[in-house]
Amino acid sequence: MAVELPAADAALDTSPVQHLLGFRLALAEVGTRRVFQRHVGTPFKLRPVEFTLLMLLRANPGATPKRLAQALRLSPPNVTVLVDRLAARALVERQRSPDDGRATILQLTPTGAELAKRAHQASRTMEDGLRQALTPGERALLGELLQKLAPAA
């Protein structure tokens, strides 16, 4: 008995994974990553995590690598690599904490502050097209639900 195969361009049956929140989040993320890459990633040569770190430092000058690791849900060694990359581009600098000489704090350099400002401006409206698929109430609900799925570190 021959098995009838679907046409080569037919959509795959995704029903076996539709119950997985991670699958649905991953599909939704595809569009947001494309938008990020077009508006921020390529023009400013930033990866999403680098952009996020710059935004966190912009809002929290003098944050420690440990606090950034907690906020980003990254290991301290991964944050070190990330900071090293941004420091090599003269966007971030390490300083000794004035309160505890053993601790390191991070600051945006003037170049980093300017790039962060411009990247933030670009990010403010970059997802407007994606948001149009949702009503204002749905956008608010989605924000609340995502917040519940990302508990504080």
> Which of 76, 138, 127 has the alpha carbon at shortest distance from 106?
76
- Structural fold of domain 34-127: Arc Repressor Mutant, subunit A (1.10.10)
Task: Phi first, then psi: give them for residue 92, nearest 5 degrees.
Answer: -135, 145
- Beta carbons of 104 and 65 less than 8 angstroms apart: yes
pLDDT value, residue 6: 66
Which three-class secondary structure state does DSSP give residue 91?
coil
pLDDT value, residue 153: 46
Q: Which residues does 136 contact at the CB level (< 8 Å), separation at least 6?
A: none
Please classify residue 58 by burial: count the beta carbons closer than 10 Å to its beta carbon, then call 0-12 exposed, 13-18 middle and 19+ buried. Answer: middle
pLDDT in tens, 6-60: 677 789 999 999 999 999 999 999 999 999 999 999 999 999 999 999 999 999 9
Domain boundaries along the sequence of the chain = 34-127
Cα 49 to Cα 82: distance, rounded to the nearest angstrom: 8
Angle at 58 between CA 55 and CA 59, to 5 degrees: 90
Cα 97 to Cα 63: distance, rounded to the nearest angstrom: 10
Give the helix ranges, DSSP H, for the chain: 21-36, 42-44, 48-59, 65-72, 76-88, 110-123, 128-131, 136-149
pLDDT in tens, 101-111: 788 999 999 99
Is the pLDDT assigned to residue 152 strictly greater than 90? no
What does the mean pLDDT of the chain come to? 93
Which three-class secondary structure state does DSSP give residue 124?
coil
Which DSSP letter does residue 125 get? T
